[in-house]
Amino acid sequence: MKKRMHIFYSGDVQGVGFRFTVERMAREFCLTGWVKNLSDGRVEMVCEGDEISVTNFIKRLNNRMAQNIADAQIDFLEYKGEFKEFAIKFY
């Protein structure tokens, strides 16, 4: 089964390589979507893929970046299949 997750991370998540870590790990798990910094200091991410890969990716990311993450607001959404790859948005 395919899943889509929309996540807002807060804490010390900007200026620490967070987006680049997310991008590399998402590609390792063959996920698609995007990640970007927000002007309020949070990081927003949308990722899609098979349910096991998405779940394992989030667990691994949360463990890897635990010292930077203060909170994560996670929404599980219906898979849309709208992305071809995983990328960092720079705007």
51 lies in which domain range? 2-88
**Structural domain tally of the chain?**
1
35 — pLDDT class (breaks 50, 70, 90):
very high
pLDDT of residue 41 exceeding 90, the answer is yes
Among the listed residues 19, 24, 42, 56, the single catalytic one is: 19
DSSP 25-71: HHHHTT-EEEEEE-TTS-EEEEEEEEHHHHHHHHHHHHHHTTTTEEE
Any catalytic annotation for residue 19? yes
pLDDT at 91: 73
- Is 5:47 a contact under the CB 8 Å cutoff? yes
84 — pLDDT class (breaks 50, 70, 90):
very high
Q: How far apart are CA 61 and CA 22, in angstroms?
A: 7
| CATH code of the domain covering residue 65 | 3.30.70.100
Q: Which residue has the higher pLDDT, 91 or 70?
A: 70
- Taking Cα atoms as reference points, which of 66, 57, 56, 68 lies closest to residue 25? 57
C-alpha dihedral sign at 14, 89, 25, 46 = positive
Among the listed residues 24, 27, 37, 56, the single catalytic one is: 37
Determine which helix (DSSP H) or strand (DSSP E) holds 20, and give its type and residue range.
helix 18-28
